[in-house]
Amino acid sequence: MLSPIISSSSLQLVKEGLSKLKQRFDGARDEPYVVESRQFKALYFDSESTQSLMDVQAPLRLVVSYTETMMGFLMFHSNPKSIAMIGLGGGSLAKYCHHHLPNTSILVLENNPKVIALKDQFHVPDNGPRFRVLEADGAEYFRNTEEQFDVLLIDGYNKFGQAAQLCSEDFYASCLACLNPGGVMVINFSGKAGLNQAYQERIDRIFGRSSVLVMEYDRMNQILFVSNSDLLSVSSADLYKRAAILDESHEIHLPRTVQNFLTQRKVDHFQERSP
């Protein structure tokens, strides 16, 4: 049975409740910290932004809708051989992929050792043959590595939006070089929509293909999908068929993601053809 997604209004109430709990920590130290209620555990970097949210009774469940949308890469790679992620946070995506994609090698790049030090509190798996969390600057790692991946998940931001080193032309070119043929990259943009549009245009220019930028219902996040092939052009009927199949093993509301994806793809296509 599909777990109910938290509505934007309910999620806001959760965040407000946790915010009251964390007030005693604000300004006490310049480092990430954890606040826990009976139902949820949250990771904070500062007094304004919630970096991660975990259901303490179901640690693997994706609580926040944007993380479910990012898992939409399954529509194009249902069983990838390799995934690289930038940004650990509370490990929501990392945990989910590790559990539900047992044949996938997963690399997580996190530049803050204090975040990594908290990973046990969020049930992030230990490093092993197919799962690694490395302390590294993701942009620098991609720039210097010869590794290639089927899927890239970019989820590194702060209260001002996308981290500067993760939205440059050099970074996007490095991402393109790190993708296997037929690969897909998914980025969580959390910031001003105008800047996100500029980043999208930059990505489209570097990849030489049109990306799809999906607005979340809470309008706090925009999720960008881009590929180095024609993966994103799959027909609507095929996407819905894939969602139905994947829905049997993934409780992440894929039909909702498909609908949002197709709506935005249609809008983008119309704008491209308009005089």
| Active-site annotation, residues | 155
Residue 137 CB coordination number (10 Å) = 17
Unique residue bearing structure tokens 């039909």: 255
How far apart are alpha carbons 131 and 128 in whole angstroms? 5
User: What single-letter amino acid sits at 13?
Assistant: L
249 contacts: CB under 8 Å, gap ≥ 6: 100
How far apart are alpha carbons 69 and 77 in whole angstroms? 14
- In this structure, are residues 231 and 184 in contact, taking their beta carbons and an 8 Å threshold? yes
